[in-house]
Amino acid sequence: MSRFILLHKPYGILSQFTPEGRWGSLKDLGAFPPDMYAVGRLDADSEGLLLLTDDRRIRHWMLDPDEGHPRTYLAQVERIPDEQALRQLRNGVMLEGKKTRPAEVQLLEHEPAVHPRPVPIRFRKNVPTAWLEITLREGRNRQVRKMTAAVGHPTLRLIRTAIAHLTIGDLAPGATRELTPAEVTRLMDVAASTHHRRESAAPHPPASSPKPRRPGQRFARR
């Protein structure tokens, strides 16, 4: 039976089981069942929700860029974005020659309740910071950071809080929990319905027309 684990990935840990350079790996957080892999990734300097599973079909489905699963982040950025910057983020910005998909972006009035980070963000006395809640439906490399930098508000801290209907809840950094049976059922149902919808929408090859009969040609008996 497939297994699904939610993890609050802390700062400084890669979304893999092999360490690289100065960064730690998921092995540093404890023992995981065999054949578990992260669905997608969070960079070592990012934090938040990570889904691990040994179900290859679900991994493939959730990583398919055409599916457009929502992913929600809290981003602490330099300075306070004005309405023009927020509109740019919502409508899409050009990154490496390609415009990002429309996003849901909200400037938070109050600082969210988040766990302290072991390595504090850089602090500049005369530069205020703000928190944005951003929901994307694509997963390009370091996309949130590149988007906010493109509109003049570099990201200082990034926390993913939700993947589709799965949320981080009250998981502390480094903590894990298995999906409930209801969460697994919903995940499987959404995957199945999405697959069925895409199969139904796929163009079907036209039915082949019978070849015209040559004069004098008789139909073969069957």
The Cα–Cα gap between 26 and 29 comes to 5
Q: Which pLDDT band holds residue 59 (cuts at 50, 70, 90)?
A: confident
DSSP for 137-177? S---TTHHHHHHHHTT--EEEEEEEEETTEE-TTPPTT-EE
CB-based contacts of 143, cutoff 8 Å, min separation 6? 95, 100, 136
Active site residue 43: yes
Q: Is the confidence at residue 207, as pLDDT, over 60?
A: no
For the chain, give me the number of helices (H) and strands (E)?
4, 11
Catalytic residue among 43, 45, 66, 82: 43
Q: Which pLDDT band holds residue 48 (cuts at 50, 70, 90)?
A: very high
* Token reading at 132: 């944005």
For range 198-211, the mean pLDDT: 56
Q: Is the confidence at residue 67, as pLDDT, over 90?
A: no
Amino acid (one-letter) located at 111? E
- The tens digit of pLDDT for each residue in 14-39 reads 999 999 999 999 999 999 998 999 99
Lowest mean pLDDT among 41-55, 187-201, 208-222: 208-222
Domain ranges of the chain: 4-182
- The tens digit of pLDDT for each residue in 90-110 reads 999 999 999 999 999 999 999
State residue 180's pLDDT score. 94
Question: In which residue are the tokens 């490496």 written?
Answer: 96
Rounded to the nearest 10 degrees, what angle do helices 143-150 and 83-91 cross at?
140
State residue 219's pLDDT score. 41
The continuous run of DSSP H or E covering 136 comes out as strand 129-136
Amino acid (one-letter) located at 114? V
pTM of the model: 0.85
Class level of CATH domain 4-182: alpha beta
For range 77-88, the mean pLDDT: 97
Residue 27 half-sphere exposure toward CB, CA atoms < 13 A: 9
